[in-house]
């Protein structure tokens, strides 16, 4: 057997261990009884330890090295060569950080998570501060092990967005700040208030039907997936034939299930589009968190919150909610789905303010990593940036610096992927529009198959084969470019709020 095929065999075992852990994780969020938490944590620790041991074993290393020799003569664009490259990247990531540090991190973050929950509940940043300090220290040590050329944050970012560079992200985000803040101020100046349509009564049983209906219509396959309820919506998969979405319901907030389920279905269809021949190997899945987010944001915003989709879906929605939507026409619903309002919480933010939430976090994270901020002063820094970008000041740290789970989990470097994905979604829309054309008409007619087909062909079918930047270039013809999103937002919201299109 060739070394590359032996590598595939070794990977299959590791992938299955991760799949099993993912099933246990899904169950934990959806159905697991409360009392099982401690036992589940131990089961998960065993599975990830085993997977890590297999990946970092001498057998794996030597097989990989032989496979690298074999692949030297292959077409670099072949799947085999890509498999070896991707495996090398994963292997290095797993082996560069010493096992003691991995253990230290998992202990620290398990504890830090508990403390963060408590601190948020009590609105007491001081409680979380010593853990955050340790997490920043540990992240810097981890960055040293992972290695970087320019900036320690590069190493952290690379965990979630392979190949991305801090300097590039910084430039990209900085170019957005002024136009975005400007757009928001103009919108705020109109004084237009919420219509209150989305916060009417939408019975939860009906919302459940709607979320299943809508994700099926856009192309999520229930033969190889399902949707359940979880406190926080997420998507996970145990192979391209088993993809799980979750959503949640609030009787008085329809977008919280409608658009959230389209968002998760965007992730889900990406996973369902990973090719069969990549199953059981490290090529399976999505290129990065950013590319994943490009898919979810595309279906949520470019499709879901479009006028075309509203025209298509509102008549159907009225069948589910005849009372609450009786007096609502397409135009009113479209505007309700796209109300812009500076708010405290990232996960509730609209398209215009969402990027500002991310930029704020990115700036704070890089400042933390550069040791340019005394962590004690983080709440003040957070609040002053909120005031600067969004024009509001959190009344409490619970709704400010303590709102996100990421830092307590050691996930410094994760936030930028949300905005990178949002940028990519707009860029993908434009590329698809110039190739396929008439996207709005297709959406209005409920013809989602060509749209999904384009994504399958240009993005999904490559799994993890290409680095995100390369994949985006192949899919859209150019590198990530923030003007697509900015133009999209400017055009869309100028029309909605009656602003001039150019400033």
* Chain residues that interact with a second copy, rule: CB under 8 A: 12-13, 16-17, 19-21, 23-24, 27, 31-36, 38-40, 42-43, 46-47, 50, 221-226, 228, 238-239, 241-242, 279-280
* For a second copy, the closer CB: 33 or 191: 33
* For a second copy, the closer CB: 43 or 188: 43
Residue 193: DSSP 8-state: P
Q: Which residues lie across from 228 on neighbouring strands? A: 246
* Distance (Å, whole) CA 61 – CA 59: 5
* For a second copy, the closer CB: 35 or 191: 35
* For a second copy, the closer CB: 40 or 113: 40
SS3 at position 242: coil
Of the CA atoms within 13 Å of residue 437, those in its CB half-sphere come to 0
* For a second copy, the closer CB: 24 or 127: 24
Cβ 268 to a second copy, closest distance in Å?
11
- The answer to whether 455 touches 406, Cβ cutoff 8 Å, is no
Active site residue 271: no
* Distance (Å, whole) CA 424 – CA 416: 12
* For a second copy, the closer CB: 193 or 223: 223
11, 105, 186, 264: the active-site residue: 264
Q: What share of the chain is helix, strand, coil (3-state, %, to 5)?
A: 70, 5, 30
Cβ 23 to a second copy, closest distance in Å?
5
**What tokens appear for 246 in the block?**
């979750």
Cβ 231 to a second copy, closest distance in Å?
16
* Distance (Å, whole) CA 144 – CA 384: 31
**What tokens appear for 450 in the block?**
């060509």
Cβ 30 to a second copy, closest distance in Å?
8
Cβ 457 to a second copy, closest distance in Å?
21
* Distance (Å, whole) CA 331 – CA 335: 6
Of residues 296, 229, 299, 226, the one with CA closest to residue 257: 229
Alpha helices in 123-245 (DSSP H): 125-146, 152-160, 166-190, 204-218
Instruction: State whether the Cα torsion 147-148-152-153 is positive or negative.
Output: negative
Cβ 243 to a second copy, closest distance in Å?
8
Q: What residues are labeled active site? A: 264
């Amino acid at each position: 057997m060739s070394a590359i095929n032996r590598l595939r065999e070794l990977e299959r075992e590791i992938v299955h261990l991760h799949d099993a852990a993912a099933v246990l994780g899904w169950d934990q969020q959806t159905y697991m009884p409360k009392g099982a938490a401690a036992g589940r944590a131990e089961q998960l620790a065993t599975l990830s330890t085993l997977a890590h041991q297999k990946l970092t074993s001498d057998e794996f290393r030597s097989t990989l090295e032989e496979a690298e020799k074999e692949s030297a003569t292959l077409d670099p664009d072949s799947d085999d060569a890509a498999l070896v490259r991707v495996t090398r990247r994963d292997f290095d990531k797993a082996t560069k950080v010493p096992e003691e540090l991995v253990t230290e991190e998992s202990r620290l973050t398990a504890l830090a998570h508990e403390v963060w929950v408590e601190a948020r509940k009590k609105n007491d940043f001081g409680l979380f501060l010593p853990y955050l300090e340790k997490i920043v220290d540990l992240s810097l040590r981890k960055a040293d092990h992972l290695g970087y050329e320019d900036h320690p944050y590069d190493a952290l970012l690379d965990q979630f967005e392979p190949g991305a560079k801090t300097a590039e992200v910084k430039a990209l985000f900085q170019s957005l700040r002024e136009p975005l803040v400007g757009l928001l101020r103009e919108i705020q100046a109109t004084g237009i208030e919420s219509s209150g349509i989305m916060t009417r009564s939408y019975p939860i049983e009906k919302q459940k039907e709607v979320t299943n209906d809508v994700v099926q219509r856009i192309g999520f396959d229930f033969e190889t997936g399902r949707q359940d309820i979880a406190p926080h919506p997420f998507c996970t998969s145990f192979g391209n034939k088993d993809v799980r979405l979750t959503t949640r319901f609030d009787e008085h907030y329809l977008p919280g299930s409608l658009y959230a389920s389209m968002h998760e279905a965007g992730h889900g269809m990406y996973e369902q589009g990973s090719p069969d021949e990549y199953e059981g190997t490290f090529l399976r899945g999505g290129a990065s968190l950013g590319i994943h987010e490009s898919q979810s944001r595309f279906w949520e915003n470019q499709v879901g919150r479009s006028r075309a989709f509203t025209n298509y879906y509102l008549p159907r929605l009225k069948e589910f909610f005849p009372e609450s939507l009786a007096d609502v026409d397409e135009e009113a619903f479209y505007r309700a789905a796209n109300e812009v309002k500076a708010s405290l919480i990232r996960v509730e933010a609209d398209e215009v303010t969402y990027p500002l939430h991310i930029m704020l976090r990115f700036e704070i994270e890089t400042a933390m990593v550069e040791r340019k901020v005394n962590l004690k002063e983080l709440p003040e820094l957070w609040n002053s940036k909120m005031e600067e970008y969004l024009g509001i000041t959190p009344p409490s740290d619970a709704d400010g610096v303590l709102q996100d789970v990421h830092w307590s989990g050691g996930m410094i470097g994760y936030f930028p992927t949300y905005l990178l994905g949002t940028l990519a979604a707009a860029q993908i829309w434009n590329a698809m529009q110039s190739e396929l054309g008439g996207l709005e008409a297709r959406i209005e007619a409920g013809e989602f198959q060509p749209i999904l087909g384009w994504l399958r062909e240009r993005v999904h079918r490559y799994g993890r084969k290409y680095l995100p930047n390369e994949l985006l270039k192949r899919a859209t013809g150019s590198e990530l470019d923030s003007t697509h999103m900015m133009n999209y937002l400017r055009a869309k919201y100028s029309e909605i709020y009656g602003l001039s299109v150019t400033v």
